[in-house]
Structure 1
Amino acid sequence: MKSPETTSYPSSDQIEKIFLEVLDLRSELVGAVDTFQYYLDEVDENHVESARNLLHYLAFRSKDLRPLQISLAAMGLSSLGRAESHVMATVDAVANVLFGLSRKVRQAPALNNSTIKFKKGEKLLSEHTESLLGPAREGRGVRVMVTMPSEAADNFGLVYNLLQEGMDCVRINCAHDNVEVWMKIVKNLRKAERELGKRCRIIMELPGPKLRTGPLNPGPQVIKVRPVRNEIGRVIRPAVIWLTSENITHFHPSPKCTRCVLQVPDPWLQYLNVGNKIKLIDARGSKRVLSVVDSKDHGCLVETNKTLYLTPQTVLRISGTEADKYQTHVENIPHSEIPIILKPGDQLILTRNQSPGHPAIYDDVGIELAPAKIGCTLPEALDHVEVGEMIWFNDGKIGGVIDRIEDEEIIIRIKQSREKGRKLRGDKGINLPDSYISLPSLTVDDLNYLDFIAEYADVVGLSFVNSARDVEMLQDRLEKYGDKQPAIMLKIETKQGFHNLPSILLTAMRSHCFGVMIARGDLAVECGFERMAEVQEEILWLCEAAHVPVIWATQVLESVAKKGTPSRAEITDAAMGHRAECVMLNKGPYILNAVRTLDDILSRMQAHQIKKSSMLRELRLAREFTSIKRY
């Protein structure tokens, strides 16, 4: 009878070899600090230990450690896979165990007792997070940040409800609205804080040098309104229109009205009451009737079960009346925009000016006479492009290759789009991932906003951070505010910013308090969608090694915020966000639902996951199975 097989265990020679590998690795970590000491000489005292740990981690990850990991795991030891926040302590712990197991090594390794211990790394990250984003809520360590819509300036109830439902940080994007609107949002938030007894940080994000498409030739002044129909064409939800006074500065739309707001003269509006019918003949000559279903101080809610097209010439008449005072026209209908439709193989001309663009022009038999043309907002960016480089539009929905470069324009051949084409409109993002663009991340507008931000915000967001020099420029500008200078949030959204992240972090450590936002929308276009999962992981690792809080941003629960219901993929993505210190939601008509959903997801995930570590909370299904009595 054969004896049972025994578990293979490393010999003394193998243990000694692994031990020496670990010591060699440790020497490289020590050497990295000596090599880059000039970074440590500049950092704020709040970040000295964290900067040293980051240098250790960069040296640690500059090698392929997989063979060593396999050897350590085979011995039942730590495989070094959770070393981010305490690199040297992890290596020292493994070295000590290997020394105890070795029969050949006689002299104990000289280890440094001043390194960050296991708990200290977590403590530093927690302290830095609270300093930047405020204290955590009970039962949820990850904060929730919400981008404020323009209506938050005049809708106190929205801000109040968001704060009540779980919002920890307000994000104001300075690429939109103006100082007057931002001031109103700040006042509404402070009022909500007082009434609820809660605190909420304000992050104001600078626009930066965003390259966008220019305007298009205006189309006709027309608004199309249509009900929602099911698969067989029956109306399941009427078209809803909010009629409001042309004399008020800000709209007050009904919560039920999310799509169409029309302005009409105030005197005519005062004649409307619930139950009234409004008759009209729309732009196609079709007779239509609107029913008044709600009336408030600032307007009326009307419904219709039929599609209609409204223009400035459309006459609205209260049913049952003939007098002129009972009829009016719709006011201030904007010009519609005629988008450019781009299919694979199409040509597009991108110009250096912002003269209105236009779709391709065809003759009567469909022969193209002139290709589509559109301008851009940052013409100096085109100085850095080369023939053969890729260019992307509208968050990567449309992609092309630069065919030719001329003095005032570049000619692009579309390679990526739907077979039937995608729409390109004005004010859509342009990405040049193959081009090296050396533009400063602070614009003239950004600098003009800093006084307001320093007065009212807790954190200033720096967009399009490409290099350590961008961080230095902002730090230099903020110095004049002394004790009132806000903390810094660095948006990593370009390929250059990602590649320069180590020097960016070490430079940012000269400031007392800062954090990093993973702007996954632009970053995915810049680095490639197929690399996005890898890229966001690397950013999380480096920031944890630096004990820097991370904001997980872009399209989190977007379907919930915009449509009210999530997709399965979005729930998983939001759960992954638990590995950051804050998750950002964008605006939408159902943003309250999104905050509630995210709060629930993050609270549940806290018991299961901390960073990369799975927490072994009791599983009910496991307990129920093992408690079954067997007879």
Structure 2
Amino acid sequence: AGLVAHGADAVRINCAHDGPYEWARMVGNVRAAEARLGWRVPILMDIAGPKVRTGYVLTPPDRTRVFVGDLVLLGREVTPALPETPFQMTCTAPEALDRLAVGNQVSIDDGKVQGRITGTVDGGFLVRIEHARLGGVKLKSEKGLNFPDADLGLDPLTDKDREDLGFIVEHADFVGYSFVRTGAQVAMLQAELAARTPNWRRLGLVGKIETPAAVRNLPEILVQAAGEQPFAVMIARGDLAVEMGFERVAEMQEEMLWLCEAAHVPVIWATQVLEDLIRQGLPSRGEMTDAAMAARAECVLLNKGPNVDAAVGVLDRLLRRMAAHQFKKTPTLRALASWQERPPAP
């Protein structure tokens, strides 16, 4: 109720975490808040999609951090007998390794470590680290593993996702589609929804744009999705930055905003919005400007954290003020008030 009272218009449940028991309690809390406050609060439930992560990690006894220039062996299993590659790791989706080749890019831990495959050894791939924090980065298990320029051939709908859809069609107002890349994959999810409820067209669909392929194919995704049911696009800037490079995110964001506006499809602005405020209680200057620019989208997604109630209130007030200056991507050119003539002080 606190989130809604502070200005939240909708609530997201991430099906990558917890299970039906916990989700049912979350839904119950939202419906109770609705009854108490007197208005509807839609629920978005994200299906997790395929997650490729680091598996077992081997590091030398005297050093746990990798730096620019280091070599990391990525394979199906670690081989301690290879002293020339003291840094090694496996992948939680070993079948993805069959789609890799020398020259492919590799990103580890949400882009904190980036490199390129330079060779092969013992059935694995040698990854030369090209970008990392100046102080190095610890290699850890269960961290995100991305291959931006490789087609891994992974089905965006996992067995778990198909199982979770049964709960989603009963309780959610929107389903979030993670790692969707093509219009055909949208049609595949729509067929799964139709198999579970005759009213599937009333369920909103949110396409999470997280990969270069999804950006390229966004027009066909828009046509397939919006032609069948309510549809919105989520610009998932976290994975998109990892996949396309941090320098390209702002540019791609602008182009997607223009395309969606032309198609009359609403946009959700996501990832690290007001993150310092949510986690630490004070925002950075840059994230306040980023949040203000989010007014060009129809919806802004905030992550959870100890100060999220206050962050919702800050964002609500900020977006209300920005609405006087901007409608979507078009300035309103309203009269400026900051330099109005004031009577002299007594």
With structure 2 as the length reference, what TM-score do the two structures score? 0.92
Q: Distance in 2 between matches of 1:361 and 1:576?
A: 52
Tell me which amino acid in the other structure corresponds to 2:276. S
Q: CA deviation at 1:407?
A: 6.7
User: SS of the residue aligned with 1:496?
Assistant: helix
Determine whether 1:440 maps to 2:155.
yes
Tell me which amino acid in the other structure corresponds to 1:459. F
Determine whether 1:525 maps to 2:242.
yes
Deviations 1:17-57 (A, max 9, x none): xxxxxxxxxxxxxxxxxxxxxxxxxxxxxxxxxxxxxxxxx
1:353-432 aligned at under 5 Å gives the runs 370-405=85-120, 408-432=123-147
Determine whether 1:464 maps to 2:188.
no
Q: 1:461 to 1:350 in 2, by over 3 A?
A: same
User: SS of the residue aligned with 1:214?
Assistant: strand
Q: CA deviation at 1:566?
A: 0.4
2:73 to 349, 361, 376: 349
User: SS of the residue aligned with 1:511?
Assistant: coil
Q: Distance in 2 between matches of 1:206 and 1:398?
A: 27
Determine whether 1:482 maps to 2:206.
no
Q: Could you tell me which residue of structure 2 aligns to residue 257 of structure 1?
A: none
Q: CA deviation at 1:556?
A: 0.4
1:19-38 aligned at under 5 Å gives the runs none
Tell me which amino acid in the other structure corresponds to 2:288. I
Q: Distance in 2 between matches of 1:390 and 1:544?
A: 32
Q: CA deviation at 1:180?
A: 1.2
Q: Distance in 2 between matches of 1:615 and 1:207?
A: 39
Determine whether 1:539 maps to 2:256.
yes
Determine whether 1:186 maps to 2:27.
yes
Contact 1:552 1:577 in 2 (8 A): yes
2:335 to 618, 624, 631: 618
Structure 1 runs not aligned, ≥5 long:
1-159, 218-337, 363-367
User: SS of the residue aligned with 2:138?
Assistant: strand
1:109-508 aligned at under 5 Å gives the runs 160-216=1-57, 340-352=64-76, 370-405=85-120, 408-480=123-195, 481-484=197-200, 486-508=203-225
Q: Distance in 1 between matches of 2:2 and 2:275?
A: 19
Structure 2 runs not aligned, ≥5 long:
none
Cα RMSD over matched residues?
A: 2.3
User: SS of the residue aligned with 1:399?
Assistant: strand
Tell me which amino acid in the other structure corresponds to 1:544. E
Q: 1:484 to 1:466 in 2, by over 3 A?
A: closer
Contact 1:361 1:372 in 2 (8 A): no
- Extract structure 1 runs of 4+ deviating beyond 3 A: 405-408
Q: Distance in 1 between matches of 2:36 and 2:81?
A: 58
Q: Could you tell me which residue of structure 1 aligns to residue 227 of structure 2?
A: 510
Q: Distance in 2 between matches of 1:606 and 1:369?
A: 58
Q: CA deviation at 1:379?
A: 1.9
Q: Distance in 1 between matches of 2:219 and 2:43?
A: 27
Determine whether 1:589 maps to 2:318.
no
Q: CA deviation at 1:621?
A: 2.9
Q: CA deviation at 1:441?
A: 1.0
Tell me which amino acid in the other structure corresponds to 2:187. E
Q: Could you tell me which residue of structure 1 aligns to residue 283 of structure 2?
A: 566
User: SS of the residue aligned with 1:624?
Assistant: coil
Deviations 1:562-599 (A, max 9, x none): 11110111001001110000000011111112111111
Deviations 1:485-511 (A, max 9, x none): 621110000011101111111111232
Q: CA deviation at 1:620?
A: 2.1
User: SS of the residue aligned with 1:425?
Assistant: coil
Contact 1:340 1:425 in 2 (8 A): no
User: SS of the residue aligned with 2:143?
Assistant: coil
User: SS of the residue aligned with 1:539?
Assistant: helix
Deviations 1:74-106 (A, max 9, x none): xxxxxxxxxxxxxxxxxxxxxxxxxxxxxxxxx
With structure 1 as the length reference, what TM-score do the two structures score? 0.51
Q: Distance in 2 between matches of 1:562 and 1:470?
A: 35
Q: Distance in 2 between matches of 1:339 and 1:546?
A: 52
Q: Distance in 2 between matches of 1:339 and 1:496?
A: 37
Q: Could you tell me which residue of structure 2 aligns to residue 56 of structure 1?
A: none
Contact 1:216 1:339 in 2 (8 A): no
Q: Could you tell me which residue of structure 2 aligns to residue 555 of structure 1?
A: 272
Contact 2:72 2:85 in 1 (8 A): no
Tell me which amino acid in the other structure corresponds to 2:101. E
Q: Distance in 2 between matches of 1:406 and 1:178?
A: 40
Q: 1:612 to 1:522 in 2, by over 3 A?
A: same
Deviations 1:341-370 (A, max 9, x none): 1111212122236xxx79x999xxxxx665
Deviations 1:194-239 (A, max 9, x none): 111121111110111121112558xxxxxxxxxxxxxxxxxxxxxx
Contact 1:361 1:371 in 2 (8 A): no
User: SS of the residue aligned with 1:516?
Assistant: strand
Contact 2:194 2:200 in 1 (8 A): no
Q: CA deviation at 1:428?
A: 1.5
Tell me which amino acid in the other structure corresponds to 2:72. L
Deviations 1:259-309 (A, max 9, x none): xxxxxxxxxxxxxxxxxxxxxxxxxxxxxxxxxxxxxxxxxxxxxxxxxxx
Q: 1:347 to 1:189 in 2, by over 3 A?
A: same
Bigger shift: 525-534 or 539-548?
525-534
Q: Distance in 2 between matches of 1:444 and 1:376?
A: 19
Q: Distance in 1 between matches of 2:120 and 2:228?
A: 42
Q: Distance in 1 between matches of 2:129 and 2:11?
A: 39
User: SS of the residue aligned with 2:117?
Assistant: strand
Q: CA deviation at 1:532?
A: 1.1
Q: Could you tell me which residue of structure 2 aligns to residue 605 of structure 1?
A: 322
Q: CA deviation at 1:612?
A: 2.1
Q: Could you tell me which residue of structure 2 aligns to residue 238 of structure 1?
A: none
Q: 1:415 to 1:456 in 2, by over 3 A?
A: same
Contact 1:202 1:459 in 2 (8 A): yes
Tell me which amino acid in the other structure corresponds to 1:380. E
